Amino acid sequence: MKSPALDTFQNILFMELRPWMATGIADVKYKQLLLEIKKEHFSFQPLYDVDFPKPLNAKRKYYHALIENDVIQYLNIFTSCISGALNENEKKYWVHNSLNKILPQKFKDTKEIIEFHKYDLEKIIGSSGNSAAFDDGYIIEFLRLQVLRIFLEIQDAYKDYASDEFFSFEELNAKYYSDTLPKSFIKEAAKLKINSTTGSSSSKPKSIQFAPKAFDFRPPAKGILSYETIIKNADRFSSFEERLFTNELIDENYNFRDKHGQIQELAAVFQTLFQKGYFNKLKFPGQKPIKPVEIRKFLDHRYNSKTDKQFREWGNNPDKLATFTAARWIDNLPVS
């Protein structure tokens, strides 16, 4: 399972889906693109929905569908991350990451674009959809409202894990934007019929998915350094941990599987990561060197493993380690 991200929003704001860059595209093309969109569905009952004027032409309808899909996918993935969290701290991490990092950045991005293009919400709502500028403004304003909706959804559904103050719709908009939005733009979500295959004999079992966790999720332990202290490149390390999962050394909960012979392989992986520069060399503050044993302890704590003996054996015999890893996936790990 991937982390929640608003990839389509990013494309609309900055990349190939920027509506003001899509000039000369006929309505028939947008109608064709709209037919190719596979609608996403909520896997849970949401609290809120956006009540915005319906899109009146093919371009607006296409972007409207893209934005709604991205919202549903984000919230579905977020909800899965919460339900799959190992402890309360991990739940707090997911809530904090959305409410304090991802969504505030989207508020900032949309505000800059709205002000740069001088979009006027009243004119956009009153337009017939025949103006390209009004179309573009409609798309960005709808996107803005959906970011506000996501924030309120997460804030209200997971109050116990939100560390900052609680915002109403009006307060949230005032915090990030310079204009006023009608409260009526956000409404209570309609009751949905959520599809469930639980107990169905004909349903296929769900494949187990893996969620990257670029943070400390185990309870703190004496002598174990933090993720931020140890890990040099979080993205590279998360990619490596997905390889640990796909090669069946850890399960979806980051627990070492400990099948026959795997302890030797895992210890070899730890030594290889050390050689390929996946870890910081110094602790801050103080700039004290991080010892290999501290790295091994961090990794063993993270995966519920015990590789002390095997880690030392591989460290004392680098030629044997090189032979062992040469024919395995370990050797293909990129240098960090």
In a domain, 20, yes or no: yes
> Among 129, 157, 188, which residue terminates a domain?
188
Would the pLDDT of 186 be above 80? yes
Task: Give the Cα separation of 117 and 107 in Å (integer).
Answer: 16
Indicate whether 96 and 23 sit together in one domain: yes
Mind giving me the DSSP string for 263-327? HHHHHHHHHHHHHTT-B-SEETTTTEEPPHHHHHHHHHHHHT---HHHHHHHHH-HHHHHHHHHT
Shared-domain flag, residues 183 and 231: no
Boundary residue ending a domain (158, 188, 218): 188
| 62 occurs within a structural domain | yes
Q: Are residues 244 and 99 in the same domain?
A: no
Cβ(61)–Cβ(30) under 8 Å? Answer: yes
Asked if residue 145 and residue 14 are part of one domain, the reply reads yes
Count up the domains in the chain and report the number. Answer: 2
Q: Are residues 71 and 174 in the same domain?
A: yes
Min mean pLDDT across 2-6, 67-71, 99-103, 291-295 is at 2-6
The answer as to whether 195 is a domain residue is no
In a domain, 209, yes or no: no
pTM: 0.66
Average pLDDT, the chain: 88
Q: Do residues 63 and 174 both lie within one domain?
A: yes
Q: 201 in a domain, yes or no?
A: no
pLDDT tens digits for range 59-105: 999 999 999 999 999 999 999 888 888 788 888 889 998 999 999 99
In-domain check, residue 216: no
Residues 48 and 180 in one domain: yes
Query: Are 231 and 176 members of one domain?
Result: no
- CA dihedral 63→65→66→69, nearest 10 degrees, is 160
Question: What tens digit of pLDDT does each residue of 235-289 get?
Answer: 899 989 988 998 889 999 999 999 887 999 999 999 999 999 999 999 887 789 9
Tell me the two tokens of residue 61: 């309808």
Query: Do the domain assignments include residue 1?
Result: no
Q: Same domain for 238 and 141?
A: no
* In a domain? residue 208: no
Instruction: Supply the range of the domain harboring residue 26.
Output: 7-188
Of 141, 158, 188, the one marking the end of a domain is: 188
